[in-house]
Structure 1
């Protein structure tokens, strides 16, 4: 296979990490990442950011905080109607 180059690898990196590129593109990007430290670093940053965001989306606020926010929202809505 031929190396797809940094521009192509970085352009399609998000889709690659989510397995949303065709097998041919996936192989080309993987080959490039295996041989390019700069793009490996980009992939690590993107993968880490994706994992952090996914974890944050699974967390929920403590019940007391949620109740305080909802009470405040209700009070604000009541004063504006």
Structure 2
């Protein structure tokens, strides 16, 4: 196997310039921020490029972990202390 994808460039080099251009688009794909045509282009690239597929999987995993971690609710006493401090800062700003 030559390691070349449908576009004729080596996909075993994660520093490949074309692949570097896809990194931001991969993140935007995961965040549902790409138009349908761009989604198809990024998915086609991922299907032919192992390093980019690995990046896609890693980004999805990280985002899922962060989302799960952020779903926890702070204890009521902590939320109240934060609310009081925010109000105190707002007062200082308006009086300052």
- TM-score, normalised to structure 2's length? 0.57
Compare relative contact order (CA 8 Å, sep 6+) and give the higher one, 1 or 2: 1
Give the count of matched residue pairs. Answer: 69
Question: For 1:9 and 1:26, how far apart are their aligned partners in 2?
Answer: 11
Q: CA RMSD in A?
A: 2.4
Deviation at 1:14, TM superposition (A): 1.3
Pairing 1:10–2:23 present: yes
Choose between structure 1 and 2: higher helix proportion: 1
Question: For structure 1, which runs of at least 5 residues remain unmatched after alignment?
Answer: 75-81
Aligned partner of 2:42 in structure 1 is 29
Q: 5+ residue gaps in structure 2?
A: 1-5, 8-17, 85-96
